[in-house]
A = this chain, B = another copy of it.
């Protein structure tokens, strides 16, 4: 079972409210997916994720294929049972990971030869084996194998990769078999508007249950990211979920929701947490700074997360400076709670017809703060 329904459209932007129904539960969209690369959202338990309001997580088929291996997860009854998360799971195919290790991979029409970043062992992935892997993992949403070109890339290089991505998507579409699992295609095309349009048009003719925009936020200027995403989304069918991969900062989520994207994933809330960077409604703070040493306030007043309900900035700073595991835990809980609250707030604003009233002041505060941080 896989069904996507748009329940409300914003009057002033392209933002929309919806839901994705899967065999493992329903996801209210727009939704943010915490990243569980290796089958665990770093430093959290499935129980905590649920309490934070998480409805879907992202894992990485490439990483799980290499370690612990697909057969082992299949034996355990699939990824849901293996990792103890019974809500919806989306797996990225790993195209991005493979192609980011340029020296370790060679691309052919048939598929991609690469060496494991863990032990150097040789592997060969094809669009069909990637479908098969995710089928065996038993996830609810799976991604096709795409070729992700690095930024900057030449037009001809992006065009070549684009054509291959389409041919691979055709093969993947043919190979899908489970009707409880939805494969999403990934639009590529680098920073070139006509290639993005071409990729979107070719892929949509294959009638996938959902579409992702990939190959963005890979080093290009955020202004370019925004332009390309805005250009691309118009060629994706409004009846299907639209997923912007690897994005992003809170203010970016608000911007891209307003463009009409429904799904997001990003390592920022979890990775930043481990470095001591915490998100708040008034911008970011780095808890390691000396000014927090005697600060008895929580990270954010009125935040209902476990960290804010029980601990002071002074204690959290101590844990961060002392490199305690509890630091990563509490910071991660806070950041993921913040991200889920942000998505909830956007959904509520959409339902109430006041998305613009929510988005404008939020962007004013956060985009200003971001500038200040750059100084």
Question: B-contacting residues of A (Cβ < 8 Å)?
Answer: 38-40, 42-47, 67-68, 72, 75-76, 82-84, 293-294, 296, 306, 310-312, 314-315, 317-319, 321-322, 324-326, 328-330
What residues on B are CB-neighbors of A329 within 8 Å?
43, 45, 325, 329
What residues on B are CB-neighbors of A296 within 8 Å?
75-76
What are 5 A-B pairs with beta-carbon distances under 8 A? A38-B319, A40-B319, A43-B326, A72-B294, A84-B315
Once A83-B315, A84-B315 are accepted as A-B contacts, the answer to whether A293 and B68 lie under 8 Å apart by CB is: yes
Asked whether, in the complex, the Cβ of B312 is within 8 Å of the Cβ of A42, the reply is: no
What residues on B are CB-neighbors of A45 within 8 Å?
306, 310, 326, 329-330
Bound complex: CA A317 to CA B83 (Å):
12
Give min CB distance, A290 to chain B, whole Å.
11
Asked whether, in the complex, the Cβ of B328 is within 8 Å of the Cβ of A325, the reply is: yes
Asked whether, in the complex, the Cβ of A318 is within 8 Å of the Cβ of B75, the reply is: no
What residues on B are CB-neighbors of A312 within 8 Å?
76, 82
- Closest 6 interchain pairs by CB? A43-B325, A68-B318, A40-B326, A84-B310, A38-B322, A40-B324
Bound complex: CA A68 to CA B322 (Å):
9
Bound complex: CA A324 to CA B42 (Å):
7
Give min CB distance, A234 to chain B, whole Å.
40
Of B39, B72, B318, which one neighbours A39 at CB under 8 angstroms? B318
Give min CB distance, A336 to chain B, whole Å.
14
What residues on B are CB-neighbors of A84 within 8 Å?
310-311, 315
What residues on B are CB-neighbors of A38 within 8 Å?
318-319, 322, 324
Bound complex: CA A68 to CA B316 (Å):
11
Of B75, B315, B325, which one neighbours A294 at CB under 8 angstroms? B75
Give min CB distance, A144 to chain B, whole Å.
26
**Please, which residue of chain B has its CB at the minimum distance from the CB of A69?**
B293
What residues on B are CB-neighbors of A76 within 8 Å?
296, 312, 314-315
Asked whether, in the complex, the Cβ of B42 is within 8 Å of the Cβ of A325, the reply is: yes
11 additional A-B residue pairs with CB within 8 Å, beyond A325-B325, A325-B329: A38-B318, A39-B315, A42-B326, A43-B325, A43-B329, A45-B310, A67-B318, A68-B321, A82-B315, A82-B318, A83-B315
